[in-house]
Every structure is written in structure tokens, then in C-alpha cells.
Amino acid sequence: MLERLFQLNAHNTNVRTEILAGVTTFLTMAYILFVNPSILGETGMDKGAVFVATCLAAAFGSAVMGLIANYPIALAPGMGLNAFFTYTVVMGMGHTWQVALGAVFLSACLFFLLSIFKIREWIINSIPLELRSAIAAGIGLFLALIALQNAGIVAANPATMVGLGDLSSPAALLAILGFFLIIGMEALRITGAVLISILVVTGLSILLGISEFGGVVSMPPSLAPTFMQLDIAGALDVGLISVIFAFLFVDLFDNSGTLIAVAKKAGLMRKDGHLPKMGRALIADSTAALGGSLLGTSTTTSYIESAAGVSAGGRTGLTAIVVAVLFLFALFFAPLAGSVPAFATAPALLFVAVLMASGMAEIEWSDITVAAPVVVTALAMPLTYSIATGIAFGFITWVAAKTLAGRFRELNGMLVALAIFCVIKLALF
């Protein structure tokens, strides 16, 4: 049955290798089980329900990817998108988390339609690679600021807006230790470095009496507080159009980049650069995002950590199925997730920020019409505390720079239309 479903022999793999790859992928991305409830919980969402929604969304998304596309790619609620959900849409713009879930649902519907009608390639090709890299780097810097705040390393300052926090506090010291642990273990290629760091810092925090121990295993909490609680009508408000598109664009770029990178590493990409079953993979991804919004979590997306499983030999969808099963088992560890303090997950956020900021290396810094929009995009996100605003500034600056430099021919209709839309949005809403 497994051979018929996943064509193991054709991909030069076997069941044992695929299981090992699935376990490897799960360990590298399991940190989301602790980070996602911590971030979304700040909106007022029930953390227990968010934990269950995270497990179920990851299990559902990974299973769909494995069965439909037969790719060794796992899915879970995306980092950056959960921060955008909490700190921009809910805490920044003042919308309820139910409305934010509605925006996630609508963006997933648009993503699904783009995948069905194969418009994805046209949109992605319309956005310059440098601008896509800048968006990823900006999200990374946004996550870094949140991480430093949660750790108490950065604090509000009335004179300079931000300043140095109390580095002698236990929370700050443990967060710094956690980040150093991740860097050291990653350098030594230890599987599950982020997860190990979170557990070590949490354990030390409990032993020192800084946080309380809630237990390890129990029956899963109720999903009722978040299940089907999305407000689609509220998300259709004109002022939220840019938010819906921000969810869509970030998910679109993130997914495409992840799929290409992981598939290339797995040897699934043809010599001409074509990725077979790319459409199926995107349909699986958008379906997972739809399901996640109904369960009660921010956008579910493909994880670059899947590359760890590919390095362990994963080549088929069986790897993703193994990840799905492990996320279902994780449902019974809700008390452990509830014991994790915010400063224990801060190092994970900062580490993800480091990975996302690495895209800046691809920028052509000698071209000022490229460098300027890239820097504006990356800086605007953390400084305005909004991913959507950073994307808007990026589109506007790119079009303005190219136009004023007499290089209007380098632009396309899609990019110009987006820039005009962003100007109108910033001026009126």
C-alpha cells in the first residue's frame, strides 16, 4: 500500500528512511507548538485551544501535502504570519482575533483560487526577487524585535522610543542562554536545537522558581474556544483589504521559496528548473491554511525545516505523513506547552529572524534603485510594527525609484497597480 501511494522505489527510498526523515523534520519544527500559543495567546485567544489548533492544523496540512503532492514537506502555522496576526492586525489595528481569523480564511481562499487557475507564477514573476527577499528579511527583523521585547532585553524608552532592558533579570539571562544554546547546537548540526533550547530554558526557569510547572501529559484541552470562531463578515471591511493581501503575499512568497528550496535539495526538480506537481503542492498548502483558520490559528504554511528531513533521506510524502502523526501525538503534551514562559520562546523567534534576514545577501547593493526599496521595506516592518506597512512602503519605493531614475520599463503593470493601491490605502485608511 505504501509503495502504491508514495512510489518509494521510484524515489530510491524505503519506509525506514522515510520514518527517520519524518521524525527529524518534526523535531526541527516542533518549537511551533510552544511559540504559536504564546504569540496568539496575547490576542486573548485561549492558549489551550490554540495549542490544539496548532497540532491539528500541522497534522492536517502535512497529511494533505503528503497525500496530494507526495512531497516530503511538512506544514504548520507560519512564523512571521502569527506575529503579523497578533501584533499588527489585533494589537496594532485594534481588530478582534475573530476578524483576524476571517482575514486568514479569505487570504487562503484567494491563494486556493490562484493555485487552481495557475495565476501564481504571474504574480510571483511580477514581484522582483530582491523585493521578495526584503520582505522576508523585514519579517525577520520584526520577529527579532518581538523576541528581544519578550526577553526583556529591549524595553520602551520615552526619550529614544526603545532602549536597553534589564540584562540582570532572570528572564533576560535565560533568554540569552537559550539563544546561545541554539547557535551552538545548530553549528554542531544537532537535530532539534530550537526545541531543546526551549525545554532547557523552561526547565531552568521552573527549577529557579521563575515560572510554574503545569505538568507534561494530559488529555487535549477543548478546541471549542477557537473552533469556527472566525468573523468573515468583519474581515471584509475595506480597511482590512491590505491585511488580507499581506497574508496572501507573504504566504505566497514563503511557500514558493520553501517548495523550490526543499524540492531542489531532495532532487525532485527537473534540470530545466520545472517543479513537477507544484500546482498540487500549492493547492495542498492553501487547503491547509483554510483548515487552520477554521480550527483557530494563523496561516498554515510550508516549513523550510523540512529540508532537515530531506537531508536525512526523506524523498516522498510518507515523510510528511510521519510528521502529521507525530503532531497528533503532541496533542497530549498541552500542560508542557502551558509551562513554557515567553522568554523561553524568545530565542526561537530570534533564531528564525537570523535565518530570514539571510536573504539580504542576494541583494544587488550597487544598484541604488534596488538597495533603497530593500532597506525601506526591511526597516519599515519592525519600526512601524506592521508587516503590511513594510510591504506597502516597499512597493511604493520600488516604483518611485525606478520611475525617477528613468527606468520605468523595468516595471510591470502588476507592480505599478500594487504601488498605487498601497498609496491609496496609506492615504485613506
pLDDT-based confidence at residue 275 (cuts at 50, 70, 90): low
DSSP H helices in 190-332: 193-207, 232-235, 241-266, 278-295, 306-311, 317-329
Residue 98 near residue 230 (C-beta atoms within 8 A): yes
Task: Name the residue with higher pLDDT: 6 or 287.
Answer: 287
Digit-coded pLDDT (tens) for 346-401: 998 898 888 888 878 878 899 999 999 999 999 998 998 878 788 889 999 999 99
Please enumerate in sequence order all residues whose Cβ is within 8 A of that of 301, keeping only pairs 6 or more positions apart, or say none. Answer: 75, 76, 77, 78, 81, 251, 254, 255, 258, 285, 288, 289
Kindly provide the residue ranges of all beta strands, DSSP E only, lying in 20-150, ordered along the sequence: 75-77
Digit-coded pLDDT (tens) for 7-40: 888 878 888 889 998 998 898 889 999 999 999 9
Please enumerate in sequence order all residues whose Cβ is within 8 A of that of 191, keeping only pairs 6 or more positions apart, or say none. Answer: 24, 27, 28, 308
C-alpha cell at 151: 526577553
Q: What is the pLDDT of residue 225?
A: 95
255 vs 251: CA distance, rounded Å: 6
Residue 273 has pLDDT above 70, yes or no: no
Average the pLDDT over each of 165-169, 257-261, 358-362, 381-385 and give the range with the smallest value: 257-261
Q: What is the pLDDT of residue 272?
A: 58
H or E stretch covering 157:
strand 154-157
Residue 259 has pLDDT above 90, yes or no: no
Domain of 253, in residue numbers:
2-428
Split into its structural domains, the chain has a count of 1
- Let me know the angle formed at the C-alpha of 36 by 33 and 40, rounded to the nearest 5 degrees: 145
Digit-coded pLDDT (tens) for 87-105: 889 998 899 999 999 999 9
* Residue from 92, 131, 18 nearest 360 by CA: 131
Residue 317 near residue 69 (C-beta atoms within 8 A): yes
**Average pLDDT over the chain, rounded to an integer:** 88
**Predicted model pTM:** 0.84
C-alpha cell at 137: 528579511
Q: What percent of the chain has pLDDT over 70?
A: 97
Mean pLDDT of 403-417: 90
C-alpha cell at 268: 525532485
pLDDT-based confidence at residue 290 (cuts at 50, 70, 90): very high
